[in-house]
Structures are given as structure tokens and as C-alpha cells.
Chains A and B, each alone.
Chain A
Amino acid sequence: MSHDFFPSYTPKSKLAKWFESRLPLLGFMHSAGVSFPVPRNLNYWWTSGVILCFMLVSQIVTGIFLAMFYTPHVDLAFSSVEHILRDVSYGWLIQPLHAVGASMFFLAVYVHIFRGLYYGSYKAPREILWILGVILYLLMMATAFLGYVLPWGQMSLWGATVITNFFSAIPGVGKTVVSYLWGGYAVGNPTLNRFFSLHFLLPFMICGVVILHVWALHVPGNNNPDGVEIKTKKDALPFHPYYTTKDFFAVFVFLILFAWFTFYMPRYLGHADNFIAADRSVTPAHIVPEWYFLPFYAILRAVTFQIPLGFYTIDSKLGGVIAMFGAIVVLAFLPWLNNSKVRSTKYRPLYKPFFWLFFLTCIILGWLGSKPTDGDWMIGSWHIVNYTTASQIFTLLYFAHFALLPIIGKIEKTKPLPDSIFEAVLKKNGSAKPAGSAELPNKTA
């Protein structure tokens, strides 16, 4: 925002002048969405932010239509969803758009998060931006969980039972917290009612934090693949039309994927068990969360032992909950754990393999989260390790990544950074001039 390389908005018509002098809304929109200077070297990973904005709007719009027909009552919720799918005009389209949309939202957010990790986007001066992102991620997880309970199928009921039980692990107040979550002595009608209410509320809280997130982005401006800040006008391009066209293109490509699942395999990303109405007397064989929660589910289940602290013994349940929430909260400390002078992993040869190891760890934790705890990891008939032990190893690897960051930063010999974004772009295009060359101008500006 500190740069004003590109012309700002000046009202021309009388009406615009009149309005702008009272509320400079158009000028604000222009500076944020038109003349905002963006590094010219952003790659396609940087389109995930706009894709996320699109998904948030899409979820809210489809959600509002669903709420017009959905009935939050334990006897009617399940059949009201079937009613939407069968009898409501285009309900067969809106419901999958919303359900598949949740998965797409998470897919985009994971791309967004890993991009931030790879390019060190969380480093100064973008710590607040990053922490707001972690808060958004937590809000998204809460919203998704609450939403998954609403169809009141078997996974809804049992997922709600498992997740709400986490809170009973909190020493002292756990039981009270859980009874407030339930609104009774077990997951039941009051639970469903308050979950519906909160599921409607949280997206608007997400909107609020998104505004702060975008605001916090516009103060320092975008990070970029080379991790050097904009210095001169040559390093930047105005947001419009360069990044508006690039983002639109990316959104349409993303929509192809979204449409693929929505129209052709709307139930692929969900669980067949959730088409069985909730039944308290039957426990599903495997209670498994949605794919986007699986790594954390694996971490939760990895803690199977007590942790004696001398004055207090953390039981395995509380230990699991602490590990699971810790796995998310630790992200908020990244700006200080990573003490490297260099942001982008492109220039960090020692950190690069650690980044990919971390990525792989998350994928494998996700796989382990979908497995029963008592199974064994086999290759052919070759027994590798028990799933629980495997979860423990990879949970350790997950946290070790954060513990190693300061050490890596200290001992790493980073590659030289380009002098400017413009130079990095020239180098990438192979059009950088050799030092000391004195070409004649072949183009008139």
C-alpha cells in the first residue's frame, strides 16, 4: 500500500465527485482491486486466494438456499435432506454443490497453506496476515464439522459424538463444556439445533476475518516466489488487468474440477454410511472423519499413552486432544520458529527436502487417519508396522519439522537472492543481459 506506482482513482463525473467526497468508496475499491501493486513474478499457486474467496461466497449462497428447505430436528433432518435431493427444484444440484464445495474449499486452503509454507509467506512483515490465516483455518474446520452433522446420518451422529467428547478431556471444566455443546446428556435434538445455528453463524465470522486477512495483505503487499520485496515500479504490475485475468482463468480451471465432482461423482468425497439415518443403537464399524480432517485424526489417535508430569498426569485422551490442537496452533508460531533470513524455499537448499518431507508426512498421516487403529501396515505379506505405531512415528515427524526449523535456519547456507523481482523474472526468461554488456536499444518504448 505504501507504493503508489499506478494511477489512483479520480472521479470524473459530477455525481462521482459528489459521492466520493462523502464516502471515498470507489477510490478505496480502485486502490485495493485495480491499482494495487502486485509483484510481477507470482506463479499460479498465488491464485488460490481468489479461489478461496470464490468458494466462501459459493458456500454461503448454496448454504442459504439449503437452509430454506432443511429442518434441524432429529426426526426430520435426514428426510429433509432427501426431500431437497428429490423434490426441491434443482435441490439435486444445490446440495452436492454445497457438500462437494466443502471439500473443494479445503483443497484450495491446503494449496494456499502449503504455498505459504514453501515461500515463507508468514515471515516478517506478514505475521499478522499469517496468524489471521490460521484463525480462518480453525473457523473453517469448525464450520465444516458443524455442517457435516446437519444431515443427521450415521457419520453425522457418531462424528459429533466423537468430536464433542474431545472437550470432556479438558481438566476441570470438560464435563460442563460438553454439556453446553450437547444441550443435554448426549448428542441429541438440542445439539442439532445449536449446531445448525452455529453453522449459519460461523461463515459470517469467516467473512469478517477474511476482510482483516485481505487488509493485512494489502499493507505489506504480496509475498512472491523469490521472496524479495517490491523495490521499484519495474518489480510490480497493477492488480488489474494482470492479476484479475490470471485469477479468473485459474478460477475457471478450478471450477472444472469442482463441476467434475459435483455433477459426476457427488458422493465420492463423502461416506456411504451417512446415507443411513442416525441411529444411537448402532455404531458404525469405522468412524472416520471427512478426508480433510484425516491427518489430525491420526495425530489424535497416536497418543495412546499417559504423560506423567509429576504434579499431574495427562491421560491419553487429553494428550491426543492437545497433540491435535497443537498441530494446528504450532502453525501460528512459524514466523518466529523459522529464523532464516531468506523467505523462499527456492533459495534454501537445506530446508527444501525438509519441506517435502513435511508434505509427505501430512499425506501419510491422512492415510493413517483413514485406517483402523488395530490394523497393520503391510507390503504384500511383509509386515511393516502397526498403524498406531506408524501414526506415532509420523506425528513425531510432524512436530519435529517445527522443532528443526530454527536449527536449519542457523546452519543453512542459502543461495544468493536476486537483486530485485524484475531481475528474477529476466533470469527466468533467460533474457538477462550479461554483466557489463552494452547493447543498443532495439525497441522504442
Chain B
Amino acid sequence: MTKKNLLVAGALLATLGAALIGGTSAKAAEGAPIPPAQEWSFSGAFGTFDRAQLQRGFKVYREVCSACHGLKYLSFRNLAQPGGPEFSEEQVKALAAEYQVTNATPNDEGEIFQRPGRPADRFPSPFANDAQAAYANGGKAPPDLSLMGKARTYERGFPLFIIDMFSQYQEQAPDYIHAIMTGYVEHPPEGFSGVAYNKYFLNNAIAMVQPLHDGQVEYPKNADGRAVVPETIDQYGKDVAAFLVWAADPHMEARKRLGMQAILFLIVMSGLMYFTKKKIWKRAHAEEHA
């Protein structure tokens, strides 16, 4: 009977599999190409952020992206928090002071005023409001980047979406961000009339011109005066994507760390409960064999 059940289950799974795989290839055929998967230090159960990478990524954001894109859900102090880029308190204080921030409450004369930023302040957005941002950027407001690290994805399809449950692949957003950064095409196909052409953007017409170029952002140098990591679009793209993943999920490291402890505890508890149950049920089974 068990054998027959197994056969039936097998046949069911095979039918289902064949049916769903079919669905996947249909999906891949339409729309933008799938962003290539990159290596990320933060993937998997033991993944942690690479501090140096987050710091470089923030540098790219500050020197390039921040001209148009806000980071409104982040405060300066977040940059010093454990599990992030972990800049020092002093660095963060100095950084915050470089920004002019609008005070939330009026002064004694009843006027809203500007003052140097403090670590507790949120990152000021580059535009006063979405309308101004859209007006200054050809009709489309550049999106805030705080949540980009979790607000973008692409369809995985069958069977990948099942494999992902076990492999914990969830880096669609950074893969996509990196793909967009590196996906600009210098000579778009004939007849294309958009602002810029990007291989990985939906319908290819992206309103942002290529933001990154090789050598644009200066990276730390070693004793010979050579950059420790390459100053290339590819590397900038990876670094800024990693930074944005942290920005979107700043407690990821704490969560994964606690997760390991929780799961180990649960496995031990399950084991103990299993043997408790087994011992208790021995009495019932003894009755059955009497």
C-alpha cells in the first residue's frame, strides 16, 4: 500500500513539475532579462555585511546618488549602529554637521530655521517635495532609496521559487540594482526614443541617465597608491547595492544571529519532546502487544 501511495505521489509531483516548469519558460520569454546573480557576503543563514563594502557603498551614494535620491527612512546615527557600516560616532557627528537640516519646530521668533545636522536627524532629501523632484528631473521624481534593497524583485518561477526556500536566496533586489547600474547600453537599438536605454529595466526606457562611470568615485588606496578594490562600475554597483540592502534591513545581522540560536533551541526542544513522547507512548504500545 505504501509503495502504491509513493507511486501516486510521484506521478502527481511529476505532473505538477512539468506543468509548472512550462509556466516558467513562458515567463522568461517576456519582459526584461533576469539580473545575473552576484556573490553577496550577506546571503545565507550566516551572512553578514562586509563593513568596508557598506562604507564604500555609502561613499557612492553620497557622492553620486544623493544628488537626486533621498534616503529618508535613515538617520545619520544609523551609520554608527552595530550591524551596519559602523562608522565611528565622531565620524557620524562630523558627517551630520555637513548637512543643513530644517528644524522640526520653530524658533522663539516663530520661524522655521535651518541648522547643521545632528546624528539623530534623518537624511535630508535633495528636493523639497515630489513635485519639485519631478519638475527638476524631466517629469519623473527620482525614488527614495531607503527601501530599494527590499522593494525590487523579479519573478523566479518554478522550480527556483521552491529551491529558494531551502537555499534562502532572497537577493533579487541587490542583483537587480547591480544589473541596472551595469545595464546601460551606449548605442540603443534604432527607433528607441527614451532618455536612456537599460537592458534590465522594464521596457528598457529608464528616466535616469547612466549614473556611474569607471574611476568616478575614489576608493581607498594601498601603500603603492593603487585602489584596494577596483574603481569600476561593476564594483560601485555591488557596493551601493550592498549598502542599500543594509539601509532597507538594518537589523539583518541581529535577526540572522538570533535565528540561529532560536532554531538550535527548537531543534533541541523537538528532540527532547520526541523522546518524551516516545517514552510515554511505550505504555500504549505495550497494551497493543499484550
Chain A residues close to B by CB (< 8 Å): 40, 79, 82, 85-86, 92-93, 96, 234, 237, 241-242, 245-246, 248-249, 252-253, 255-256, 259-260, 262-268, 272-273, 275-276, 285, 353, 356, 359-360, 363-364, 367, 371, 375-380, 382, 384, 422, 425-426, 429, 431, 443, 445
Contact = CB atoms under 8 A, between A and B. Distances in A.
Contacts of B280: 241-242, 245
Given A272-B150, A375-B26, A431 B277 contact: no
A97 B248 CA distance: 18
A272 B153 contact: yes
B139 interface: no
Interface string B241-253: 0000000111100
B276 A245 contact: yes
Contacts of B26: 375-378
B277 A268 contact: no
Given A268-B165, A379-B25, 4 more contacts: A96-B255, A253-B270, A276-B147, A429-B289
A268 B26 CA distance: 22
A443 B281 CA distance: 18
B81 to A, nearest CB: 10
Contacts of B249: 85
B266 A85 contact: no
Contact of B266 (A255, A264, A359, A360): A255
A296 B164 CA distance: 25
Interface of B: 8, 12, 15-16, 18-23, 25-27, 29-30, 45, 73, 78, 146-147, 150-153, 158, 164-165, 168, 170, 172-173, 202, 248-251, 254-256, 258-260, 262-263, 266-267, 269-270, 273-274, 276-277, 280-281, 284-290
Contact of B18 (A82, A263, A356, A379): A379
B193 to A, nearest CB: 22
A426 B290 CA distance: 11
Across the A-B interface, give the 8 residue pairs with the lowest CB-CB distance, nearest first: A263-B259, A379-B22, A275-B151, A272-B153, A92-B251, A249-B273, A378-B26, A245-B277
A256 B165 CA distance: 13
B273 A245 contact: yes
With a 10 A CB-CB cut-off, give which of A82, A259, A367, A425 has the most chain B CB atoms: A259
A85 B277 CA distance: 38
Contacts of A82: 73, 146-147
9 contacts: A82-B73, A82-B146, A248-B276, A249-B273, A360-B15, A375-B26, A378-B26, A379-B18, A379-B21
Contact of A249 (B22, B270, B290): B270
Main secondary structure of the interface of B (DSSP, over half): helix
Contacts of A363: 16
A252 B271 CA distance: 9
Contacts of A85: 249, 251
Contacts of B170: 265, 267-268
Nearest to B276: A245
Contacts of B29: 378
B290 A93 contact: no
B288 A272 contact: no
Contacts of B259: 259-260, 262-264
A268 B164 contact: yes
Contacts of B266: 252, 255-256, 259
Contacts of A273: 151
A263 B16 contact: no
A364 B284 contact: no
Contacts of A425: 288
A379 B20 CA distance: 9
Contacts of A266: 255
Nearest to A367: B20
Given A259-B262, A267-B170, A445-B290, A252 B151 contact: no
A93 B255 contact: yes
A367 B23 contact: yes
A377 B24 CA distance: 9
B73 A276 contact: no
Contacts of A234: 287
Given A360-B16, A375-B26, A443 B290 contact: yes
Contacts of B15: 360
A261 to B, nearest CB: 8
A272 B284 contact: no
A367 B276 CA distance: 40
Nearest to A86: B250
B73 A256 contact: no
B274 to A, nearest CB: 5
A272 B45 contact: no
A379 B14 CA distance: 14
Which of B146, B158, B280, B286 lies at the interface centre, i.e. has the most chain A CB atoms within 10 A of its CB? Answer: B280
Most buried by B among A242, A248, A263, A429: A263
Contacts of B287: 234
Given A260-B263, A379-B22, A426 B150 contact: no
A233 to B, nearest CB: 10
A100 B210 CA distance: 38
Contacts of B12: 356, 359-360
A268 B167 CA distance: 12
A138 B287 CA distance: 42
Contacts of B173: 272
Contact of A93 (B30, B153, B258, B289): B258
Contacts of A445: 290
Nearest to B176: A272
A249 B284 contact: no
Contacts of A252: 266, 269-270, 273
B16 A364 contact: yes
B141 to A, nearest CB: 11
A272 B22 contact: no
A237 B287 CA distance: 11
